[in-house]
């Protein structure tokens, strides 16, 4: 429930990458970096391949990180880097860049995250794994979806077994279409509490609220949708709650 709209930047791991080789560097005085390459399993190497680069630096309570991912024709095939039934968006090209900073002092952690997602030439049908086809009005053709996510968050570890976290995300989106460009905005608030009952089992509670503002697109993008909820709202507002016990095998 606490991911960004449509998990457009995959920070909630909507998709995984297959056929992947990975390099992770040693720790160089707090600096680490790495990358991945995911093969297409196709004679056309660029048909559903993925590659990414990332790094982080830690010093005391400070953590700074950044990453870039590009996927060519993600979701186009079932056996490529991002399978058809696993992609957050099916398109000709998906580019995601993100960076963030956290600072921990005592039991408290505060952070800021920025991500930028560009979905180039989205598929006309089943554009999004979450809301299906996104069809512009007046016979227009969707040419791109763009998202900028600005997140502030905080967490407090009351005991080794119990923490509470909050977040606010402002998302500036752009729907580029042959019939015109529109810019919806999303405001998302989240709350989470987690208590470890044992090393393998925890109980958690989540609540999220989303409000859609900005331009009207006359598409499903005007309806609030919190990933993990049963479906899109019938309006520009949505509130979702989840309480669960999780056991790790």
Q: Tens digit of pLDDT for each residue in 187-227?
A: 999 999 999 999 999 999 999 999 999 999 999 999 999 99
**Res 126: pLDDT:** 85
**Res 59: pLDDT:** 97
Q: Which of 193, 201, 225, 230 is nearest to 212 (CA)?
A: 225
Three-class DSSP category at 101: strand
**Res 43: pLDDT:** 86
Distance CA 128, CA 134 (A): 7
pTM of the shown model: 0.93
Q: Which residue has the tokens 């279409």?
A: 177
What percentage of the chain has pLDDT greater than the value 70? Answer: 100
Chain Cα centroid distance, residue 20: 20
Angle 127-15-150 (CA atoms, 0-180°, nearest 5)? 80
Angle 171-172-174 (CA atoms, 0-180°, nearest 5)? 130
What domains are there in the chain, each with its CATH number? 5-16+86-247 (2.40.160.10)
**Res 84: pLDDT:** 83
Weakest-pLDDT range from 49-63, 151-165, 219-233: 219-233
pLDDT class of 87 with cuts at 50, 70, 90: confident
Phi/psi for 89 (5° steps) reads -135, 140
pLDDT class of 137 with cuts at 50, 70, 90: confident
């Amino acid at each position: 429930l606490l991911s960004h709209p449509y998990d457009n930047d995959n920070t909630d791991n909507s998709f995984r990458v297959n056929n992947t080789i990975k390099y992770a560097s040693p720790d160089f005085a707090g600096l680490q970096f790495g990358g991945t390459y995911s093969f297409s399993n196709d004679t056309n190497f660029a048909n559903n391949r993925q590659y990414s680069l990332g790094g982080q630096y830690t010093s005391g309570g400070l953590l700074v990180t950044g990453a870039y991912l590009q996927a060519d024709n993600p979701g186009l095939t079932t056996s490529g880097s991002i399978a058809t039934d696993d992609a957050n968006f099916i398109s000709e090209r998906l580019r995601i860049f993100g960076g963030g900073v956290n600072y921990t002092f005592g039991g408290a952690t505060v952070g800021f995250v920025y991500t930028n997602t560009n979905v180039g030439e989205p598929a006309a049908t089943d554009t999004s794994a979450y809301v299906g086809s996104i069809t512009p009005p007046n016979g227009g053709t969707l040419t791109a979806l763009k998202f900028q996510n600005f997140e502030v968050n905080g967490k407090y570890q009351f005991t080794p077994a119990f923490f509470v976290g909050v977040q606010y995300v402002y998302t500036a989106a752009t729907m580029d279409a042959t019939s015109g460009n529109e810019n919806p905005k999303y405001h998302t608030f989240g709350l989470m509490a987690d208590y470890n009952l044992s090393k393998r089992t925890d109980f958690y509670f989540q609540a999220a609220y989303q409000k859609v503002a900005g331009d009207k697109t006359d598409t499903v993008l005007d309806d609030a949708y919190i990933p993990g909820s049963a479906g899109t709202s019938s309006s520009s507002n949505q509130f979702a709650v989840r309480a669960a016990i999780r056991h790790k095998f």
